[in-house]
Structure 1
Amino acid sequence: MLRAMLDEYGLDDTEITLETRFTEDLELESIDLVTLAGSLEARWGRQVNFAEFVAGLDLDEIIDLRVGRLVEYVAGCLRTAEGS
């Protein structure tokens, strides 16, 4: 999903790792995160609620949000959904 977003911005050669920061490294803005939230919901439904995830973070955590932290959140949501 991130790769598709970056391709749209002409950043298709940008390396993405678990330590990559959305704001600092990818230079994504809040509207980009909204787009990502929509992509997550389209793929996994409401079981992966990005808005709820971000609401639980303080401003500094949002600014420093890394790909790995989002991956952990999504994986946890999917594990929970499988267990119910």
Structure 2
Amino acid sequence: MTTETVSARTVLTDITVMLRELLEEYGLDDAEIARDTKFHDDLELESIDLVALSGQLRDHYGDQVNFAEFIAARELDEIIALTVGELVDHVVTSLRAAGEG
């Protein structure tokens, strides 16, 4: 993926697909996922689910997107309130920064 093709819309679509795969295990794969969707409150994801998502992000985007580092920079209440849009923005920023490096 080149930096020219990195858009928030594309990344949101990619992350939505990843989340649907995770949620399928719980029978929640039809949950509405948007930028303001909260991982904890809306999708009821637990920390183990975020670890699985981290693996999916790495598989899809490579080492350019470090989800563990992104989470580690936050306080617990910020992690609990984390939205899909915040993750989308992090991915876009990371990919663009990697393309400039």
Matched, 1:30 2:47: yes
Is there any run of 5+ residues in structure 1 with no aligned partner, and where?
Answer: none
1:8 deviation in Å? 2.4
Residue 43 of structure 1 corresponds to which residue in structure 2?
60
Assess if the C-alpha contact under 8 Å between 2:20 and 2:30 holds in 1. no
Q: Give, as a single letter, the amino acid of the residue that structure 1 aligns with 2:92.
A: A
Residue 54 of structure 1 corresponds to which residue in structure 2?
71
Residue 63 of structure 1 corresponds to which residue in structure 2?
80
**What TM-score, normalized to structure 2?**
0.80
Q: Kindly, what percent of the aligned residue pairs are identical? A: 60
Residue-by-residue CA offset, 1:24-78 (whole Å, 9 max, x unaligned): 0000000000000000011111110000000100111001000000000000000
Q: Give, as a single letter, the amino acid of the residue that structure 2 aligns with 1:30.
A: S
Q: CA RMSD in A?
A: 0.8
Greater shift, 2-11 or 62-71, is seen at 2-11
Aligned mates of 1:58, 1:12 — CA distance in 2 = 28
Is there any run of 5+ residues in structure 2 with no aligned partner, and where?
Answer: 1-17
Poorly superposed stretches of 4+, deviation over 4 Å: none
Matched, 1:10 2:14: no
